Amino acid sequence: DGGITQSPKYLFRKEGQNVTLSCEQNLNHDAMYWYRQDPGQGLRLIYYSQIVNDFQKGDIAEGYSVSREKKESFPLTVTSAQKNPTAFYLCATGPWGETQYFGPGTRLLVL
């Protein structure tokens, strides 16, 4: 079954806790992206990776960290430094410089 998977669908974070959101793709795309979406807002870029072992900060990287050890995987960690983490998180993939395709998203809620 091809595509982009994100897990979990819902995630709860306690104060001071780091949580990691998973994004996996089997489309053989080089580039992967993480976006944050707040209610009634567009998508804001957190981090992106053009290729394995390389990643760059997007517009709102503070309080987040990523890794890209495998082409298929681009996990996002929401650290305790992110003071307002409640949002819908979207992962996207695509050939670099071309169309991006989105996963189903993870909703993060703070307890």
- Residues of the shown chain interacting with another protein in the complex, contacts defined by CB under 8 A: 4, 6, 31, 33, 40-43, 45, 48, 50, 56, 58, 88, 90, 96-105, 107
Work out how close the CB of 40 gets to another protein at its nearest, in angstroms, rounded to a whole number.
8
CA distance 17 to 69: 23
**Residue number, 45 or 110, with CB nearest to another protein:** 45
CB of 16 to another protein, least distance (A): 28
Q: Could you tell me the smallest distance in angstroms from the CB atom of residue 96 to another protein?
A: 5
8 A C-beta contact, residue 89 and residue 106: yes
Q: Which two tokens stand for residue 8?
A: 């979990």
**Other CB atoms within 10 A of residue 42 CB:** 7
The smaller minimum CB distance to another protein, of residues 18 and 56, is found at 56
Q: How far apart are CA 74 and CA 9, in angstroms?
A: 16
Nearer to another protein, 33 or 74 (CB): 33
Q: β-strand 43-51 against 31-37: which pairing, if any? A: antiparallel
